[in-house]
Chain A
């Protein structure tokens, strides 16, 4: 298994280079950013030339990428247009988004799996139908609608919580955004768990476990749940990355200065350093989350082995 992990880590290198190059080319394709810095005014050619020189904008694209990457490996992610080092932005934005992701992930995993298990065990009954209907509704409403509606009612109209997240993003402010962000995934987790549980309740090994007189709790937790969780774990694992990247909308609505906000700013101001820097870290998180999921399979199902 050790070799497997090492092989997977090595496989990340080409994926990493490929994705960063792709993002770099795409942001570069948005056009010369210098003109936008001057607003509705024609750039002063001499000043513009100086700025282009500083950011290597006159070099061929591949060379710019090379310069950028060689700095990245020295821990220097370049500068955003407001001269703020991107590493500084990364340091402030990632912890905030990480916190939001943790809140959303806990909500999604705990509530989602719980709903799914209960619905699966009571298949076809009122609770099950209720969960199916509710999750269908949640999936079909876009995040920004849930976001604004909850914000208006809980934050503005009834003043139960702050409508926006304060500085430093304390956990209590993150509950509502976390719920909004987790919403759609929660519905998927509940439905996945339900289907998987419902299928396994009829499995032979489960009948055997019941027949040999094991206590009900042991049957459900050790035999049924462990076998039912494989598709759910796959989903949850990939969803960590999705939650972090997909927080763009939620972060805007609830004033969370995280990754989504910074990437948005980077795109609006055509700042390749910001966008590539943030996406690079996201790519690493995606890759590692995927690896973790694959390894977790082996924990959940002893039949799966990696050589």
Chain B
């Protein structure tokens, strides 16, 4: 039969096809462990939503929340931020200075990593040197820029090779003592040390880097039991941990989800216990769905939009009035209520409520400039000569974060005030990468969306990188000598309260110049299942996993 003969060739081609794809079907060995690790909360384990970290889990290389969440659980830094965002000594016994420039750090004795090796002064010094060295390509290396000798390991010039491997400002005195020399006075520097880039690293990190990345080791409340990249991570309490945040549960299972909508469905059906990314579409009925097991509190994130101050049409004399007028033409309250369902809070300064009044948050510093006043706004814009070119195009990236809705709403608000529905329009850019490229290269000709997520809950983190001349995230390329001077004074001031007052003066000056328009503070949210209780979030909007109890 003719058909039978042809069939032989079909089989032959099929074999080739299978051979070509064979390399992709040989990974069933690990599936047994996986099935075990996805067991439920019945055994005291909290199952929580997770997104795939975008970078390897190295402390100095993690700059987004999903990796940060894990580092927060597996590391104890010299200082840690408590629930109110205040930095408390944890791994450090004492941090002392007499001149705000030279610090002596003493580590608590007998601290151990989860693999049993001791935490010593070199654990910190080596980790920081690794983070700063340019050839290690760590995204957070600039955190070490205040340490003396940083320029030698991390030259400004992109083509220059580092002239040293370690920073001269770090010196190990003995196993539990080391000294830090900063390049200039900086009184609140020790409070930065809670940021996870400053975490200590065990010898394994340097000796066997690849193995370390497969299963990172730390000195924090939890240790990693198993980690399947892109799928899940199981953490259990670290028996060597002696700090104050002992876990009140038997462990945490972080599950990577492809979308938060799916995670939400799982949360409702009892397949997931903690979800800290409630999908926007479900916000209106989240309280009902979860019978009130939901929290919504300010996070250390402020949303703004920036003016390209390097373009004369936006920075010439008179434009300050226009910029101020634009800020006053935005009805923040209505937009946060209608578009964001109350998950944003109208901004009243340039920081965040998580700092607290003592930390520098102020409800009065922006005042009238951030308050909706259509009459005055229109008057100011007209006096200043109107919007350059008769139209402003508010730039945003269209690929993530659903910015279109609020950009349109902001523009509508401005258009209503000016009685011209072409005065402000949204200008989308396809991808975040492209958008950021144009901004960092200073190619923006029109205002653009910007935002800031704090690294650590201190007012300096909301001011210095954003508004100091040449600041690392000064996207509008704003420059004002008064602001620079106030920031330097604040850094050198030993008294914290006085230092904060100086930062606030700088903030006041920035808001007078209005190179950026503060919009609103973003809130952190979380929903949880009936199987767990005591779910709270810290200043970074991470769930405080150590406190969660399984019912």
Contact = CB atoms under 8 A, between A and B. Distances in A.
* A, B assembled together: yes
Interface of A: 1-2, 5, 9, 30-51, 54, 81-84, 87-92, 94-95, 98, 148, 151-152, 155-156, 159, 162-164, 166-168, 251-257, 261, 265, 268-270, 281, 284-285, 288-289, 291-292, 295-296, 298-300, 302
Given A32-B437, A164-B263, 4 more contacts: A46-B154, A91-B26, A94-B25, A156-B268
A44 B451 CA distance: 18
19 contacts: A1-B9, A35-B436, A36-B432, A38-B63, A39-B63, A46-B154, A46-B156, A47-B138, A47-B154, A48-B158, A82-B52, A89-B230, A91-B23, A156-B269, A168-B34, A251-B258, A256-B258, A268-B400, A288-B20
B24 A54 contact: no
B416 interface: no
A295 B5 CA distance: 11
A292 B399 contact: no
Contact of B27 (A49, A95, A163, A166): A95
A162 B38 CA distance: 13
Given A35-B437, A36-B433, A257-B230, A291 B7 contact: no
Contact of A30 (B231, B433, B436): B433
Nearest to A265: B52
Given A44-B472, A257-B258, A155 B265 contact: yes
Interface stretch (B10-18, B341-349, B364-372, B489-497): B10-18
B53 A82 contact: yes
Given A36-B436, A164-B265, A92 B10 contact: no
B165 to A, nearest CB: 15
Contact of B262 (A54, A253, A268): A253
Nearest to A32: B437
A89 B126 CA distance: 32
Given A36-B433, A36-B436, A90-B24, A295 B259 contact: no
Chain A interface SS verdict (over half): helix
A228 to B, nearest CB: 16
Contacts of A269: 54
A51 B12 contact: no
Contacts of B139: 37-38, 44, 47
B262 A50 contact: no
Contacts of A162: 266, 269, 271
A297 B347 CA distance: 68
Nearest to B449: A40
B266 A295 contact: no
A270 B435 CA distance: 13
B235 interface: no
B137 interface: yes
A31 to B, nearest CB: 4
A155 to B, nearest CB: 6
A251 B23 CA distance: 22
Interface string B19-46: 0110111111001001101100000000
Nearest to A39: B63
Nearest to A75: B23
Contacts of A98: 21, 24-25
A265 B440 CA distance: 24
Contacts of B134: 46-47, 50
B248 interface: no
A95 B269 contact: no
B230 A252 contact: no
Interface residues of B, number: 86
Given A42-B440, A164-B266, A167-B38, A255 B56 contact: no
Contact of A50 (B37, B135, B213, B265): B135
Contacts of B25: 94-95, 98
Interface of B: 1-3, 5-7, 9-10, 12-14, 16-17, 20-21, 23-28, 31, 34-35, 37-38, 52-56, 63-64, 134-135, 137-139, 141-142, 154-160, 213, 228-232, 255-259, 261-263, 265-266, 268-269, 271, 399-400, 430-434, 436-437, 439-440, 450-453, 465, 472-475
A35 B5 CA distance: 58
A164 B10 CA distance: 37
Of residues A9, A90, A156, A163, which shows the largest number of chain B Cβ atoms within 10 Å of its Cβ?
A: A163
A253 B279 CA distance: 13
Of residues B24, B228, B399, which shows the largest number of chain A Cβ atoms within 10 Å of its Cβ?
A: B24
Given A155-B265, A156-B265, A164-B265, A30 B434 contact: yes
A255 B257 contact: yes
Given A164-B266, A261-B258, A284-B20, A46 B474 contact: no
A60 B123 CA distance: 42
A159 B268 CA distance: 10
A261 B257 CA distance: 10
A41 B473 CA distance: 5
A85 to B, nearest CB: 10
Nearest to B268: A156
A182 B138 CA distance: 45
A39 B65 CA distance: 11
A45 B56 CA distance: 20
Nearest to B162: A46
Nearest to A162: B271
Contact of A49 (B12, B159, B231): B159
Contact of A32 (B135, B158, B433, B453): B433
Contact of B433 (A92, A270, A281): A270
Contacts of A34: 433
B272 to A, nearest CB: 8
Nearest to A159: B269
Given A40-B451, A81-B54, A254 B437 contact: no
B153 to A, nearest CB: 10
B12 A5 contact: yes
B13 A291 contact: yes
A255 B258 contact: yes
Nearest to A259: B24
Contact of A94 (B21, B141, B431): B21
